[in-house]
Amino acid sequence: VAGVDLDVDERAVQHYTGSGGPQGAVYYFIHLPDGSFWATGSRGLFAFDGEHWRLVTAAEGLPEGAQRFHTVLPDGSMLVYGADGVYRSERHEQSGQSGQSTPGRVYTFRRVLDQAGVDGGDLLTERQVLINSRARGLQLFDPDTGSVTPFTLNNGGLPMLTYAIDRRHRLWVDRK
C-alpha cells in the first residue's frame, strides 16, 4: 500500500491510500502559503485539510482525470495543468457553521487557457509563466490576461521542451 508523508505543524503525518491518501501515481506536491497541501496525480488534484485528503471534483471546476503539475503564483493562487487546458484556483472564505469558530477555505477552479497538451509550467517573472506544451513548445503565459506568446531564442528558433529555471529566475534551455 502506497503512503504519503507530510510535515504538518512540525509533526510527521503518514497517509495511505486506504485511509484517504492520494490514489494512483502522484506527480507533485505543494504547500501553499495559506498552509494547505495539494498533490497532483493520475486521478486528479488532491487537497489536504490537515487531517484528510480528498479528490477535487468537477463540481469545483476541475475535470476528472490526470492533473500533471501545478504552479504557485505570487498572489497565492495556483495554476493546474490538465489535458484540456490550464486552470486557476480561486480561494473563498466560508463562514463557520453552527458550532464552528473557525471559517473554512473553499477553492474553486476556472479554466484560464483553453489549450490541449500543456504538461506544466514554471513561474518565470511575477506576471509570466513559462508553459511547456507538446503541440506548441515553450510559451509565455500571463495568467491575469490569458495572453500566450511563443517563446523563442535570440536566433528566432523555438527551443525544445527541456529547460530549467534557477533560483535567480534565470532560464536555461537545452538547445539540442
Percent of all residues in the chain with a pLDDT value above 90, rounded to a whole number:
15
Which of 80-84, 147-151, 157-161 is predicted least confidently? Answer: 157-161
C-alpha cell at 108: 474553486
Whether 98 has a pLDDT exceeding 90, the answer reads no
Q: Residue 5: enclosing H or E segment and its boundaries?
A: strand 3-8
Per-residue pLDDT averaged across 68-76, rounded? 85
The full DSSP string for 99-164 is: T--SPEEEEEEEEEE--TTEEEEEEEETTEEEEEETTTEEEEE-TTT--EEE---TTSPPP-S-EE
Per-residue pLDDT averaged across 100-115, rounded? 74
Whether 172 has a pLDDT exceeding 50, the answer reads yes
Per-residue pLDDT averaged across 137-145, rounded? 90
Phi first, then psi: what are they for 153, rounded to 5°?
A: -85, 170
C-alpha cell at 79: 495554476
Specify whether the CB–CB gap between 113 and 80 falls below 8 A. no
Q: What is the pLDDT of residue 55?
A: 86
Q: Look up the pTM and report it.
A: 0.75
6-20, 33-47, 107-121: which is most confident = 107-121
Q: What is the pLDDT of residue 11?
A: 46
pLDDT bracket for residue 147 (50, 70, 90)? very high
